Chain A
Amino acid sequence: MSTSLVTARGLTKKFGDFVAVDAIDFDVAKGESFGLLGPNGAGKSTTMRIVGATSQRTSGDLTILGMDPEKFGPQIRAHLGVVPQQDNLDMNLSVSENLYIYGRYFGLSRKYLKTKIEELLEFAQLEEKRDAKVESLSGGMKRRLTIARGLVSEPEILMLDEPTTGLDPQARHILWDRLFRLKEQGVTLIITTHFMDEAEQLCDRLIVMDKGKIMAEGSPALLIKEYSTKEVLEIRFGSERNSSMANQLREMCERIEELPDRILLYHEDGEVLLEQIYSAGLHPKTSLVRRSSLEDVFLRLTGRTLVD
């Protein structure tokens, strides 16, 4: 495991009686993009803060770049770029001043920062906003600035806590594009998200978390293969009839999930299944065949949806 940047064994965090992170094990390898997928309150952000050396674990072992964060907090943080869930940009400063002063916090020289800031403004597509106050930026711009800020010290690991929560689809795609570029440059990414599409897009490997525990681990493709069928048929009969119809449909597919507004039928070939349903004389109001996603994996593992 010489290439492992982060190693956690039995990592546990308690707040009083509440167990936020419950004895989890994971490794993050150099250059990989590692995800923590789970609903709000799963313990993802707490895990991130512990790995970010701004929170102390209650028990278990943790090594980051070969060091224990309890003993070498500042040294570890010098290797990390942190993008928190809630933007904490400096509202009194302009865009470029935000980048400058953050570099100064790490002790970086003015000369180095002068060229680095230009590079980061270009990366974040904020060249025209360099002198603007942070308050005037859109949500997507603030996020990009926070990411650029996290990169000022050329970190080995960039940690992103819910990077696209609250952004519109276009802003999300711009952000994903920027993160792909970093990945190509060899930056190790650790990402938490409760969006399965984001996890599928960005993560080479991920852990699915719920209630402080790891439910499953693997690449998005592997997890889908292991915990779901190739395709899913979503049908609606209307909210009153959904549950009565579910019993009739149960035998026709590998697995069935009843949600309040629709029924999910798991099958290798969704179109074939839909044909069978029509032949059986059933006529759903709407139907949709799609490929299985991490959402289905999560549903299978916990019986709940990711976003509720």
Chain B
Amino acid sequence: MITSTAVAIAEARRGKLGERVYSGRSRAIFERGYIAFKSATWMVIVSGFVEPVLYLFAFGYGLGKLIGNIDSGGVSIPYAAYIAPALLATSAMNGAIYDSTMNIFFKLNHDRIYHGMLATSLGPLDVALGEIGLALLRGFLYALSFMAIVVPLGLIPSVWGILAIPAAVLIAFGFASVGMALTTYMKSFQQLEIINIFMLPMFLFSGSFYPLSVFPSWLQFIIKVLPLSQAIHLVRGLTLGQINTALLGHAMYFLIMIAIGLFFTTKRLNALFMK
């Protein structure tokens, strides 16, 4: 009666690369997230979207009136157009971090959902990729809705700005995979707060609201190494059409983040559930 049995499906993976940690079915995890999401509260999604919009109006237009135009890469642009890409990058980060820390911590420690998943023929890498995929979807939705507001306002001067959406997904991927890896090491909700303590200053000082040149050079260096600053420079370069090779460097930064995050997540899930 089964056209393709669970056994036949698992046997088809035999001898494939990484077969012990990956069964090629992370979409099943993604599908689970979609079903759960349909019935889950939309408020979290809505608040994640509203936050950058509020910042945009309060600072971009409120404070922007006092500031006027600002110089970026030798071009004078309205203040709102300066902070819009930073807010886009930040909302991609926040969405990814929320999903990969709070949500995943709960599933790891309270729901025992992963125990159920890993008792099937799935592997830990399927779980990691599927869960991170959900965080990406959230990042993508945030980016898309934010763009739907800022484009009509004329805050994305360059056509390159369309690439800000895939860039936001890349940024979300980086944060989500590292966020999930860190979460697998956390023992309590209190420890998760460590991540939040780190997030707010990173948002305030990473060049969201003013250029890094206001800081002494040693501090500039530290900030530039941090992921949000990388993200902001990447997205701002695209929306303002300031295309150069440095953007590739920023993109590469996130590819490395993704690889490191996935490696440790898989390793930890293995250690936690296959001990």
Contact = CB atoms under 8 A, between A and B. Distances in A.
Interface of A: 52, 54-56, 71-75, 77-80, 82, 84, 86, 88-93, 97, 100-102, 104-109, 111-112, 115, 153-155
A71 B10 CA distance: 13
Contact of A56 (B3, B6, B117, B275): B275
B121 A88 contact: no
A154 B275 contact: no
Contacts, number: 118
Lowest 4 CB-CB distances: which A-B pairs, in order?
Answer: A78-B10, A88-B112, A153-B6, A92-B36
B119 interface: yes
Given A54-B273, A74-B20, A105 B122 contact: yes
A107 B23 contact: yes
A74 B2 contact: no
Contact of A78 (B6, B40, B275): B6
B6 A73 contact: no
Given A90-B116, A105-B28, A54 B1 contact: no
Interface stretch (B11-19, B152-160, B163-171): B11-19
Contacts of B4: 107-109
B77 interface: no
A83 B119 CA distance: 9
Contact of B120 (A77, A84, A100, A154): A77
B119 A104 contact: no
23 contacts: A54-B119, A55-B275, A56-B274, A56-B275, A71-B20, A72-B14, A74-B19, A75-B13, A77-B10, A77-B120, A84-B119, A86-B112, A88-B115, A90-B36, A90-B111, A104-B28, A104-B32, A105-B29, A106-B10, A107-B6, A112-B3, A153-B5, A154-B6
Interface of B: 1-7, 9-11, 13-14, 19-20, 23, 25, 28-29, 31-32, 35-36, 39-40, 111-113, 115-123, 273-275
Contact of A75 (B28, B111, B121): B121
Nearest to B19: A74
User: From DSSP, what is the main secondary structure of chain A's interface residues?
Assistant: loop
A266 to B, nearest CB: 42
Contacts of A72: 14
A59 to B, nearest CB: 15
A102 B2 contact: no
B111 A106 contact: no
A37 to B, nearest CB: 23
A109 B10 contact: no
B248 to A, nearest CB: 38
A86 B115 CA distance: 10
A102 B116 contact: yes
